[in-house]
Amino acid sequence: MARTTQKVLVPIAEGFEEIEAVTIIDVLRRAELDVTVAGLGSAGPILGSRGIRVQPDLALDELDLAVFDVIVLPGGLGCTEALMGDERLLASLRAHHGAGKLTAAICAAPMVLAEAGVIDGVPVTSHPSVRGKLGKAEVRAAPRVIQSGNVMTSQGAGTAMEFALALVEELCGADKAGELATAMVVPEAVPSA
């Protein structure tokens, strides 16, 4: 049985996609995972792509990124571009991936994984608008959530709940994901990743 005390990092930067970030954070916390929301460059409120401000727990540069078991990147083009420019995060993603730890990204955020070089030859999905920007990844239009080894990707705001529940299934098991889906009145079972 999967342990439920894993440490999850969700880094955000200005222009993050609010539905994706908040859904991921909320669902993973409902699953009783230890989720840290880290602001790139600031521990102050971060402005999302639709004008909603979210208060991170800490600034990304205050954290030892090696302690996290999972890194989940929400999308939003502004956030994605900012994360792609953070060399410390890119190095951490490479080390994290090399250690076999789960790395996940939704919407435009698979571009960060491409920039870090961790999805070369890996089947992934993303928002349709960035599918041509994923380097040497094996880009697919379906399914809506893809898990390839220790990489999980999804397409966008409309797939955020599926993505979050797929993360719960991977980290905590199918029973926990089903329990949360039922409690949140999610209409379908968690899709196969």
Q: What is the DSSP string of 40-77?
A: TT-SS-EE-TTS-EE--SEEGGGS-GGG-SEEEE---H
Domain residue limits, the chain: 7-183
pLDDT over 80 (residue 2): no
> What pLDDT does residue 189 have?
53
> What pLDDT does residue 1 have?
43
- Decide: 160 and 106 in contact? Cβ < 8 Å: yes
Nearest to 174 by CA among 157, 193, 160: 193
DSSP alpha helix (H) spans, the chain: 18-30, 77-84, 87-98, 110-116, 160-172, 174-183
Nearest to 89 by CA among 183, 186, 10, 21: 10
The predicted-structure confidence for 11-38, as pLDDT tens digits, reads as follows 999 999 999 999 999 999 999 999 999 9
Q: Which residues have a catalytic role annotated?
A: 107
Cβ atoms within 10 Å, residue 95: 14
> What pLDDT does residue 46 have?
98
pLDDT over 50 (residue 4): no
State the number of CA atoms in the 13 A half-sphere of 72 facing the CB: 32
The predicted-structure confidence for 95-110, as pLDDT tens digits, reads as follows 999 999 999 999 999 9
pLDDT over 90 (residue 187): no
Residue with tokens 């009783």: 32
Predicted structure pTM score: 0.94
Q: What are the tokens at 30?
A: 């409902």
Mean of the pLDDT values across residues 48-65? Answer: 97
7-183, CATH topology level = Rossmann fold (3.40.50)
Burial class (CB in 10 A: 0-12, 13-18, 19+), 142: exposed
